[in-house]
Amino acid sequence: MMRSLAGRLDLCSINTATLGHREPIGRIVDAVAAAGFGGIAPWRRDLAGNGAGRVARRIADAGLRVSGLCRSTFMPAAGRAEFARRLDDNRRALDEAALLGADAFVIVAGSLVPGSRDLAGARGQVAEATACLLDHARASDVRLALEPLHPMYAADRSCLNTLAQALDLAETLEPEAASPRLGVAVDAYHVWWDPDLPPSLARAGASGRLFAFHVCDWLVPTRDFLTDRGMMGDGVIDLAALRRMTEEAGYDGLVEVEIFSALDWWRRPAEETLRVAAERLQSVC
Amino acid sequence: MMRSLAGRLDLCSINTATLGHREPIGRIVDAVAAAGFGGIAPWRRDLAGNGAGRVARRIADAGLRVSGLCRSTFMPAAGRAEFARRLDDNRRALDEAALLGADAFVIVAGSLVPGSRDLAGARGQVAEATACLLDHARASDVRLALEPLHPMYAADRSCLNTLAQALDLAETLEPEAASPRLGVAVDAYHVWWDPDLPPSLARAGASGRLFAFHVCDWLVPTRDFLTDRGMMGDGVIDLAALRRMTEEAGYDGLVEVEIFSALDWWRRPAEETLRVAAERLQSVC
């Protein structure tokens, strides 16, 4: 059963990337709360220099829930020392997610080490690093959300590229968990094209691994590989159908707006972007 | 068992798009033959105005095999009249492929009708149109190669986005064929990222549906969605591993070079592009 978002911005969250990281996190927290949203998803850069504890208090004082902390350092590395360094960095990030009380720590896996063509090797490193992080996540009481990225990012940002692939990894590393710590983040931009989406969503829901749901839109034409994502309703994704599938599969967390848009929304005042996102969440999502 | 391409350019073919469609097809045919390639894959635009029969003779006189004819008109349409018009156009293209003796007619399916978000509907139209074309292909003794395109083209160029999806369609429309007329074109650029590639290639080979194999490379960064593909060896795809998998699955046709490169190779003389392609086929593919 799909929830209605009309009048229910408390079910919605704003990923701070949507506002372009142009203003101090304190001001962004206040703006998101003032616009009526129920949650926020900060990036590690929002915490750096501010103290994660201080940001956590500011978010809590504003009455906001943390739908996720973005994101892992890319995992694959050219050598074991660098692999270990990245893993340590991700353990620290996970501790920050715990401090924030985040619904999940978002894992964007990384992919080919520069100069390498070994995609299978990168996937192997991601599996190894995720297994290590999972141990730390259990100790810290944090959930890890593997976010498969669109295959257009397979070379340089993530070697996890479909929901089924992310679920395969989760089920391999954490089989038959009653209350899994390793799940997935479903981002409309990354998965909308997938012909296997309906069975994959059902599978993720059945095993209790739907930890996050992100919305934005796919623009036609898309002018930039990374930063030309659209406001919900401005592109071609059937977001209402996707949310219905995700919620009927069992997702009951926040609906998080995450839009990378250097060409459009990052040039507008935060209040305008928040206002339009609120409208679109209630009308097209 | 993988073939060696060293000294075997007769096993290789040049898709005319690689040379940027800047010169008359007659000159391109001569240049491809003079460079030692065994085949060529023309586009319908190469035939338009020249007479398909005349081009077919020119190619045959040059001693070249036709590894494929590119490509279908996009199939999904806003209404039944337009759907029928596109289907008729594809039947005419199929007749041209027969005249050329092409190894396959390449189907790039098309996707969302402008203004629509109905991806499932587009996929349904593609299935219907392909079924109709298959009847015509049987009568014309032509093979149809469904080419799954990279998911970055899911909105506007093809709603067939994985090899498994294309095979599902082929097996649905033409189950248990001893000598299938409906198969797939495997293009490295479109499929290299796919975590299901090994089983999908094996499945395609086992059912005799590997009709074409295209190579180019994925550049990092990629600067344009359509026309910034790389020469083999200049990007991150492990082309030798991919060709090995494809040939071990049973592919024994030509290795076709298809590179869309407005920013680089289309600016160079055809002879230079052909010379470098020949070198790279023998050293990195």
pLDDT averages per 10-residue partition of chain A, 285 residues: 96 98 97 98 94 96 98 97 98 97 98 97 98 96 97 98 98 94 98 98 98 98 96 98 98 98 97 98 97
Q: Which of B187, B215, B219, B236 to mutate to test the interface with A (most CBs of A within 10 A)?
A: B236
Q: How far is Cα A133 from Cα A182, in angstroms, rounded to an integer?
A: 10
Please tell me the predicted confidence (pLDDT) of residue B268: 98
pTM of the predicted protein model: 0.97
Q: How far is Cα B127 from Cα B114, in angstroms, rounded to an integer?
A: 19
- Chain A nearest-CA distance from B237, in A, is 6
Please tell me the predicted confidence (pLDDT) of residue A101: 97
Please tell me the predicted confidence (pLDDT) of residue A1: 81
User: What residues of chain B lie within 8 A of the CB of A154, using their CB?
Assistant: 192-193
**Which residue, chain included where needed, has tokens 């049973």?**
B250
- Chain B nearest-CA distance from A270, in A, is 28
| Cβ atoms within 10 Å of B176's Cβ, excluding its own | 7
Q: How far is Cα B266 from Cα A127, in angstroms, rounded to an integer?
A: 41
Burial B268-277 (b: 16+ CB within 10 A, else e): eebeebbebb
- Chain A nearest-CA distance from B260, in A, is 16
Please tell me the predicted confidence (pLDDT) of residue B177: 86
**Cβ–Cβ contact A115 with B under 8 A:** no
B193 with A221: Cβ contact below 8 A? no
B161 with A225: Cβ contact below 8 A? no
Q: What is the pLDDT of residues A14-73, one digit of tens each?
A: 999 999 999 999 999 999 999 999 999 999 999 998 889 999 999 999 999 999 999 999
CB A207 within 8 A of CB A174: no
Q: For B161, which of A193, A237, A238 is closest by C-beta distance? A: A193
Q: What part of B 164-183 touches A (C-beta under 8 Å)?
A: 164-165, 168
Q: For B165, which of A152, A195, A220 is closest by C-beta distance? A: A195
- Chain A nearest-CA distance from B151, in A, is 6
Q: For A155, which of B161, B196, B220 is closest by C-beta distance? A: B220
What residues are paired with B184 via a beta bridge?
A: B146, B210
Q: For B151, which of A116, A118, A193 is closest by C-beta distance? A: A193
User: What residues of chain A lie within 8 A of the CB of B152, using their CB?
Assistant: 150-152, 222
Q: For B195, which of A118, A155, A161 is closest by C-beta distance? A: A161
A155 with B225: Cβ contact below 8 A? no
Q: How far is Cα A279 from Cα B15, in angstroms, rounded to an integer?
A: 48
Tokens representing A55 are: 């940001």
User: What residues of chain B lie within 8 A of the CB of A238, using their CB?
Assistant: 117-119
| Cβ atoms within 10 Å of B160's Cβ, excluding its own | 29
Q: What amino acid occupies position B39?
A: G
Among the listed residues A123, A110, A46, the one whose alpha carbon sits nearest the alpha carbon of residue A72: A110
Intervals of chain B under pLDDT 50: none
Measured between CA atoms, the residue of chain A closest to residue B218 is: A155
Q: Which of A111, A116, A152 to mutate to test the interface with B (most CBs of B within 10 A)?
A: A152
Measured between CA atoms, the residue of chain B closest to residue A222 is: B225
Q: For A156, which of B118, B154, B220 is closest by C-beta distance? A: B220
B151 with A150: Cβ contact below 8 A? yes
Please tell me the predicted confidence (pLDDT) of residue B2: 94
- Chain B nearest-CA distance from A240, in A, is 11
CB A18 within 8 A of CB A280: no
Measured between CA atoms, the residue of chain A closest to residue B119 is: A193
